[in-house]
């Protein structure tokens, strides 16, 4: 009788363990679906906390949506934990496909795997309801909305279908979204190389706000992505390659009732939207490029647009042997970036140099506008009056379809006699024109040595002074290299850095303690002084915070060969400070004694050869 009662008692005690739900990891998916039909694959982990989940590869399917949920469910008077990973897939083609095993690692480091799942993709109208691979009856699909090709797309617009060579064309990229959709984000945009064009992005493109636009009989929310100014470089039919864009949109879905009011409420609170990613491409855009009319003027150099030109000279009355600058400025709209420098015909008695050019261009939705400034340098060698012929330029105006010639007024010069310049360095073989340009040419290097100007090509090059300067610079460079290398090496030594900075940090805390002492703040003084001492010992002896105790400090100091008297002084000072911190002691001289003792102990400890 006693034995039966014992067995019954043990059975009752272990009954909850027997009834406790077992950990399981399963997959649920239909065995067959129709081509073009969306369906779900669900991975469920029951009665375990998930640490890491690894999904299989869904070869042969597009992933339209993925989500993860954790819930507590109650079944048969038992509460279970349910981790769910749901994937909404769309078949790419017909055939039989295998979805590999998913793996999960639980919080107690157990690894679980599902079985591989085989799904048959058949023609439309041939699939039927079937049991899923989890052993439960399931629908092949959920009532999910579809996303058509005309619901979200990207296109390119050209402001003209025909253009002349080098004429500016504005290409605008726009994203079209059906109003029932929500744009979550534009993940990436890859624009084409614009082969056969010179291209420039427009940086003042309108903000990415929605505008309403009607296209092919439907209204869309439109986002302006980017505008480009393109210039065709050859006549004929040129195609702009597709641009590619990755977007994520949300579309409303009809949620089915789960039979659980709470679960239906939670589902509804998620917004009732399905997030989908789409890879979009523009259609190729064609542009008919018209060749420039013949015959082309002899002075035409490829300028297309509308321009003005003017010129100025500095100084107005140059002197012989001194540099002068002729400044030509071209302003207008068109292919300014590709403009070539006009030619200036200087008299034979002028020494000339290569011109310098700079451009200031603004690119907007209306095209490229701005200016190009060219500076021509010359040195007159003879006194007299000269007239430089007009600087002219020929460009093609697409608006009038004609070539136009513009020119500056003739430039009148009256050259006066300048000062004779002695050679910069005795024995210099420097060309005279280099000396004449001194102080005028902005990019010409020069050196001042003992009041003399040294120019390129002078006797300074490869002289003893030159080699002395060269060796000095080289030596300084090598020294800097080793200093930087040593500094980095020391910074990489964390323990060594900690020890080296121990005294510096302690000094900062000691300064704080002295300020507290001078202010008569007794309790704050002892706190600051103890912070300084314990911090110094921890850094100097490489002790972690958990080991900052008197016995550990004594043990470390003994190991490093510190004198017994020094160790005893450390021990006595810390004990006295700890006592004074909580007991009533005299201020003034007493605090000063503590401060001086702490400073002496730090100084003596710095002399101890502490090595790890």
CATH number, domain at 285? 2.60.40
Report phi then psi at 320, rounded to 5: -60, 140
Q: Residue 255: what pLDDT?
A: 58
Task: Clarify whether residues 341 and 310 are in a common domain.
Answer: yes
CA 173/CA 179 separation, integer angstroms = 19
Task: Clarify whether residues 279 and 315 are in a common domain.
Answer: no
CA 392/CA 394 separation, integer angstroms = 7
Indicate the pLDDT class of residue 448, thresholds 50, 70 and 90.
very low
Task: Clarify whether residues 230 and 333 are in a common domain.
Answer: no
CB distance 490 to 497 below 8 Å:
yes
Lowest mean pLDDT among 362-371, 421-430, 563-572: 421-430
Q: Residue 8: what pLDDT?
A: 52
Q: Which one has a higher pLDDT value, 436 or 199?
A: 199
Spatial CB neighbours of 201, under 8 Å, sequence gap ≥ 6: 226, 227, 228, 229, 363
Which of 391, 415, 439 terminates a domain? The answer is: 415
Q: Report the candidate in 305, 322, 324, 303 with the shortest Cα–Cα distance to residue 313.
A: 324
Residue 134 lies in a domain: no
Polymer length in residues for the chain: 612
For 437-454, what is the mean pLDDT? 46
CA 304/CA 292 separation, integer angstroms = 10
Task: Clarify whether residues 302 and 396 are in a common domain.
Answer: yes
For 349-354, what is the mean pLDDT? 90
Task: Clarify whether residues 320 and 280 are in a common domain.
Answer: no
Q: Residue 209: what pLDDT?
A: 66
Task: Clarify whether residues 225 and 319 are in a common domain.
Answer: no
Looking at the 3D structure of the chain, how many domains does it have?
4
Q: Residue 530: what pLDDT?
A: 83
Task: Clarify whether residues 162 and 248 are in a common domain.
Answer: yes
Residue range(s) defining the domain that contains residue 283: 152-253+272-289
Q: Residue 188: what pLDDT?
A: 84
CA 511/CA 529 separation, integer angstroms = 9
Q: Residue 445: what pLDDT?
A: 45
Give CA separation, 46 vs 22, 111, 477, in Å.
8, 13, 67
Task: Clarify whether residues 321 and 389 are in a common domain.
Answer: yes
Task: Clarify whether residues 39 and 168 are in a common domain.
Answer: no
Indicate the pLDDT class of residue 273, thresholds 50, 70 and 90.
low
CA 211/CA 220 separation, integer angstroms = 8
Task: Clarify whether residues 276 and 343 are in a common domain.
Answer: no
CB distance 155 to 174 below 8 Å:
yes
For 77-99, what is the mean pLDDT? 83
Q: Residue 549: what pLDDT?
A: 72
Task: Clarify whether residues 205 and 300 are in a common domain.
Answer: no
Q: Residue 154: what pLDDT?
A: 94
Residue 50 has pLDDT above 90, yes or no: no
Task: Clarify whether residues 564 and 586 are in a common domain.
Answer: yes
């Amino acid at each position: 009788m006693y034995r039966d009662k014992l067995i019954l008692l043990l059975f009752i005690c272990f009954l909850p363990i027997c009834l406790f739900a077992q950990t399981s990891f399963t997959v649920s998916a239909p065995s067959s679906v129709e081509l073009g039909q969306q369906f779900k694959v669900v991975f469920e982990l029951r009665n375990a906390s998930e640490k890491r989940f690894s999904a299989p590869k869904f070869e042969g399917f597009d992933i339209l949506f993925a989500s993860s949920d954790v819930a507590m469910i109650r079944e048969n008077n038992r509460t279970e934990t349910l981790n769910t990973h749901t994937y909404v897939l769309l078949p790419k083609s017909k055939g039989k496909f295998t979805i590999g095993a998913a793996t999960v690692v639980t919080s107690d480091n157990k690894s679980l795997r599902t079985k591989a799942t085989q799904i048959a993709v058949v023609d439309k109208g041939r699939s039927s309801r079937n049991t899923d691979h989890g052993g439960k009856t399931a629908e092949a699909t959920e009532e999910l909305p579809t996303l058509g090709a005309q619901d979200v797309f990207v296109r390119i617009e050209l402001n003209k279908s025909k253009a002349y060579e080098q004429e500016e064309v504005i290409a605008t990229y726009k994203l079209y979204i059906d109003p029932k959709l929500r744009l979550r984000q534009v993940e990436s945009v890859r624009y084409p190389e614009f082969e056969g064009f010179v291209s420039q992005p427009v940086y003042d493109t309108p903000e990415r706000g929605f505008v309403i636009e009607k296209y092919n009989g439907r209204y869309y929310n439109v986002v302006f992505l980017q505008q480009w100014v393109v210039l065709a470089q050859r006549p004929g039919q040129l195609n702009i390659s597709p641009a590619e864009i990755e977007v994520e949109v949300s579309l409303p879905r009809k949620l089915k009732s789960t039979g659980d009011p709470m679960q239906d409420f939670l589902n509804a609170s998620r917004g009732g939207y399905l997030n989908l990613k789409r890879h979009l491409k523009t259609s190729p855009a064609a542009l008919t490029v018209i060749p420039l009319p013949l015959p082309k003027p002899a002075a035409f150099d490829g300028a297309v647009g509308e321009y003005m030109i003017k010129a100025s000279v500095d100084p107005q009355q140059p002197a012989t042997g001194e540099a002068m600058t002729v400044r030509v400025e071209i302003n207008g709209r068109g292919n300014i970036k590709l403009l070539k420098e006009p030619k200036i015909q200087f008299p034979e008695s002028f020494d000339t140099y290569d011109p310098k050019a700079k451009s200031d261009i603004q690119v907007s939705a209306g095209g490229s506008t701005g200016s190009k400034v060219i500076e021509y340098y010359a040195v007159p060698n003879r006194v007299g009056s000269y007239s430089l012929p007009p600087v002219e330029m020929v460009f093609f105006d697409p608006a009038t379809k004609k070539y136009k010639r513009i020119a500056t007024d003739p430039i009148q010069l009256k050259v006066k006699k300048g000062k004779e310049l002695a050679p910069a360095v005795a024995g210099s073989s420097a060309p005279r024109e280099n000396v004449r340009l001194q102080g005028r040419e902005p990019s010409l290097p020069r050196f001042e040595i003992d009041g003399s100007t040294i120019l390129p090509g002078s006797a300074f090059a490869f002289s003893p002074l030159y080699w002395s300067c060269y060796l000095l610079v080289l030596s300084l460079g090598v020294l800097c290299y080793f200093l930087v290398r040593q500094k980095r090496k020391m910074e990489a030594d964390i323990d060594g850095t900690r020890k080296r900075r121990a005294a510096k940090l302690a000094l900062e805390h000691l300064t704080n303690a002295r300020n507290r002492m001078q202010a008569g703040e007794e309790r704050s003084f002892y706190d600051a002084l103890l912070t300084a001492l314990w911090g110094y010992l921890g850094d100097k002896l490489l002790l972690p915070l958990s080991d900052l105790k008197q016995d550990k400090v004594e043990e470390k100091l003994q190991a490093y060969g510190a004198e017994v008297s020094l160790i005893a002084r450390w021990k006595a000072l810390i004990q006295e400070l700890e006592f004074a911190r909580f007991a009533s002691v005299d201020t003034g001289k007493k605090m000063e004694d503590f401060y001086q003792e702490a400073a002496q102990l730090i100084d003596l400890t710095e002399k101890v050869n502490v090595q790890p």
